[in-house]
């Protein structure tokens, strides 16, 4: 499947992985509809040509349906959805401050796991109505987990649970959607130079980089975007979670 000429939906598209992915897909000929929270869309800097930013909450069925419908009415068939939206607050199960806040845990799972599922199911519903290509393919879903899904650090209990859920959905989603010609893969990034990390002091970034086996640096968001394109164009990739992490294996802290 080719990126050129399709419509694509990217969540978390106002910054970080989502912004890089939206720009990359648009550069290669896709009509991209980027979804993000209204406050993020409002303060977004430059919006690349070929990208339309739309305000919506991934956990809200009504607003996601509206964005999916907008993408499905784009100039090309809706063939791709990339779920990048997510949050990463920290908290230990038990600390000096007491037990982990239940509402915080619920919020992280709601955004990262339920939000991913919500967008995937609604987008898949529209992708399934498109005409299949000569190989019976209609589209691709790329979700975002994290290496924390496998080696969550101290204080990442909620984030780890949410991202492990995203990774765990991958093979089942691929099996569920196979009859409609929709492939599903997940990317599990390691330490990526998103605004959250590049805003840290240089010595902190350097310390993080030394924990990567090779190359010893933070990943660039464009490397995530290129991997999305590769998944789209590699028709035999399905049901797989791909680590993009420089062979890092996270320590306890």
The catalytic site residues sit at 159
Instruction: Count CB-CB contacts under 10 A for residue 209.
Output: 15
Distance CA 111, CA 72 (A): 23
- Report cis status (omega within 30 of 0) of the bond before 188: no
Neighbours of 143 (CB within 10 A): 26
d(CA 222, CA 20) in angstroms, rounded, equals: 6
Of 36, 134, 34, residue with least CA distance to 86: 36
- According to DSSP, the β-strands at 98-99 and 94-95 are antiparallel
| Residues ≥6 apart with Cβ < 8 Å to 231 | 140, 142, 183, 185, 187, 237, 242
Neighbours of 98 (CB within 10 A): 8
Integer CA distances (angstroms), 143 to 27, 112, 149, 167, 212, in order = 21, 10, 13, 8, 23
d(CA 185, CA 211): 26
Question: Both tokens of residue 72?
Answer: 């499905």
């Amino acid at each position: 499947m080719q990126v050129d000429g399709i419509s694509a939906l990217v969540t978390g598209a106002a910054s970080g992985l989502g912004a890089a992915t939206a720009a990359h897909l648009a550069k290669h000929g896709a009509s991209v509809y980027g979804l993000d929270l209204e406050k993020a869309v409002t303060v977004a800097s430059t919006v690349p040509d070929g990208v339309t930013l739309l305000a919506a909450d991934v956990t809200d069925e009504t607003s996601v349906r509206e964005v999916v419908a907008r993408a499905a009415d784009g100039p090309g068939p809706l063939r791709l959805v990339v779920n990048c939206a997510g949050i990463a607050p920290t908290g230990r199960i038990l600390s000096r401050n007491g037990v982990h806040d239940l509402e915080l845990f619920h919020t992280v799972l709601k955004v990262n796991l339920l939000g991913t599922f919500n967008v995937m199911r609604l987008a898949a519903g529209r992708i399934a109505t498109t005409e299949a290509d000569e190989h019976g393919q209609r589209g691709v879903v790329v979700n975002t987990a994290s290496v924390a899904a496998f080696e969550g650090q101290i204080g990442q209990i909620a984030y780890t649970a949410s991202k492990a859920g995203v990774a765990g959905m991958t093979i089942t989603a691929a099996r569920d959607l196979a009859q409609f010609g929709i492939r599903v893969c997940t990317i599990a990034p390691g330490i990526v130079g998103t605004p959250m990390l590049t805003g840290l002091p240089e010595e902190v970034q350097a310390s993080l980089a030394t924990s990567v086996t090779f190359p010893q640096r933070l990943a660039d968001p464009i490397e995530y975007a290129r991997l999305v394109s590769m998944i789209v164009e590699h028709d035999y990739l399905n049901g797989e979670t791909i680590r993009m992490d420089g062979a890092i294996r996270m320590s306890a802290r």
